[in-house]
Amino acid sequence: MNAQNTTFSASTVTIRTYLLAGVSLVGAGIVAAAPITPPPAAPVQSVVAPLALTALSSPAPLAATGAVWSAAPAVAAHPAPSAAVETVEPTAGVDNVATAATAAAPSLRPDIQLSLLTGTTNLGAGNTGRFNTGLDNDGIANTGVKNVGNFNIGARNNGNFNIGNDNEGNFNIGRTNTGDFNVGMSNNGRRNFGVSNTGRLNFGVGNNGVGEVGLFNTDDFTIGVFNKGIHYKKSSAAATQATVDAPSATAGSTSHKKAGLKHRAEAGNASSAPGSQKGRNR
């Protein structure tokens, strides 16, 4: 009896096992045959392209979000200026205004200068050049105010090696001299010494010419006042005039000699004529 029950129980377990296995296989087949619905995808956030890429008209970049790729929307560039704007604000007008502003801007001179050895190598203010001392000098080694040139000492000298003020030229000493190597005031020429001399090598006041000594002489090489005095040398004009007059004087003397000889010949002929007639009468 017990052996039969044991055999029945084993058979029952085996049948149940087969039934469960068969149900599992049928269920698996049904599940495999049914369509699978994918889970909803996560929302995709679009990426805004930079303005520089948009201005270059490049293709829209692809934005990656997970396993999905989407094209980023393009951003509109700034609109080009219209013809009306170009008409109201032309480029030529802006250029003209800029040019006028540049021309109207005054030239700025240097500020305070504190050393002759560093920086601009000037001492003072407003100096342009090298080794100037003072204010607003232009050139090299000027000392004073508003000198233009080289090695000037004083104020407003224009040239080289002038000492004084308002001299124009080179190597002048004094004031308001014009020329070279003048000493004094208001001389005009070369190597004049005194006041208001004009010409060359004049000594005194108001002389006009060459080599004059004294006051207000106008004849060359004169020592005196108002051409009254000593003429120690003939001027070139006087020498030229003497050369021109010399042939005329020689011609006059020759004519006079010829006239004298002719007169003597006529007188001799007149005295010999009566004597010859008297001899014939005898």
Q: Model confidence over 135-171: pLDDT tens digits?
A: 999 999 999 999 999 999 999 999 999 999 999 999 9
Give me the pLDDT at residue 120, please: 81
Name which of 20-24, 52-56, 139-143 the model is least confident about. Answer: 52-56
More confident residue, 92 or 11: 11
Give me the pLDDT at residue 222, please: 94
The answer to whether residue 103 scores a pLDDT higher than 60 is: no
Looking at every residue in the chain, the average pLDDT score rounds to: 73
Give me the pLDDT at residue 248, please: 55
Question: pLDDT-based confidence at 46, cuts 50/70/90?
Answer: low
Question: pLDDT-based confidence at 282, cuts 50/70/90?
Answer: very low
Three-state SS sequence of the chain? CHHHHHHHHHHHHHHHHHHHHHHHHHHHHHHHHCCCCCCCCCCCCCCCCCHHHHHCCCCCCEEEECCEEEECCCCCCCCCCCHHHHHHCCHHHHHHHHHHHHHHCCCCCCCEEEECCCCCCEEEECCEEECCEEECCEEECCEEECCEEECCEEECCEEECCEEECCEEECCEEECCEEECCEEECCEEECCEEECCEEECCEEECCEEECCEEECCCCCCEEEECCEEEECCCCHHHHHHHHHHHHHHHHHHHHHHHHHHHHHHHHHHHHHHHHHHHHHHC
The answer to whether residue 226 scores a pLDDT higher than 60 is: yes
pTM, entire model: 0.50
The answer to whether residue 218 scores a pLDDT higher than 50 is: yes
The answer to whether residue 206 scores a pLDDT higher than 60 is: yes
The answer to whether residue 67 scores a pLDDT higher than 80 is: no
Distance CA(61)–CA(43), nearest Å, equals: 19
More confident residue, 160 or 87: 160
